């Protein structure tokens, strides 16, 4: 049926008048012109567009591959981060345990040092008390000796006569002469 329509257009009454160069009807020239135009469009427009689409497709594939690589790298980094966090948690727990142990050891050492210091203070206080007690005893002895001497002097001075004094003086002088 198409062929019939084409044949009718080509050989219709008006078609005889429309003859182009070389005696070829205008319709054929128009068809050749249309085919040439479509061919040029395909050559000059479709090929570059196809090439552009192919390049775009290659770029998209490359970007997808790069994105996949980045996703894999991100997953690897995430795994590393989780591992490091777990390691840090372990290290923090070890540090806490070590800190508690060191704190207990330091507390025990401080308690021991405090006990030694307390014992030293008690000894020093006992020595000070002993020295002060000895000093007080010596002071009491000295005062007692002074009081005894004074009382004895009062008793003797009341009981000694002038003659006893002269005799004591002479005896003292004789002793000094003998010693000298």
Q: What is the pLDDT along the chain (180 residues), one digit of tens a residue?
A: 544 454 454 455 444 557 877 888 899 889 999 999 999 988 888 888 888 889 999 999 999 999 999 999 999 999 999 999 999 999 999 999 999 999 999 999 999 999 999 999 999 989 999 999 888 888 888 887 788 878 777 776 777 777 877 888 898 889 888 987
Residue 174 in tokens: 């004789």
Other CB atoms within a 10 A radius of the CB of residue 18 amount to 13
The pTM is what? 0.38
How much is the pLDDT for 35? 95
Q: How many helices (H) does the chain have, and how many strands (E)? A: 5, 0
Interatomic CA distance for residues 151 and 38, integer angstroms = 158
Give how far Cα 145 sits from Cα of 91, 132, 142, 155, Å.
79, 19, 5, 15
Interatomic CA distance for residues 92 and 42, integer angstroms = 71
């Amino acid at each position: 049926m198409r062929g019939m329509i084409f044949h009718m257009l080509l050989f219709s009454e008006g078609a005889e008048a429309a003859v182009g160069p070389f005696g070829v009807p205008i319709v054929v020239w128009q068809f050749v012109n249309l085919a040439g135009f479509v061919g040029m469009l395909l050559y000059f427009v479709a090929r570059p567009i196809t090439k552009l689409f192919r390049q775009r497709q290659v770029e998209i594939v490359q970007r997808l591959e790069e994105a996949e690589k980045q996703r894999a790298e991100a997953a690897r980094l995430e795994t590393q981060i989780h591992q490091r966090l777990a390691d840090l948690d372990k290290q923090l727990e070890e540090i806490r345990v070590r800190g508690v142990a060191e704190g207990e050891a330091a507390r025990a050492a401080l308690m021991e040092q405090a006990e030694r210091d307390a014992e030293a203070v008690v000894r020093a206080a006992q020595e000070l008390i002993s020295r002060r007690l000895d000093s007080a005893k010596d002071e009491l002895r000295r005062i007692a000796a002074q009081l005894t001497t004074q009382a004895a002097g009062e008793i003797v001075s009341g009981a000694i006569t002038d003659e006893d004094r002269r005799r004591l003086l002479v005896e003292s002088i004789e002793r000094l002469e003998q010693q000298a």
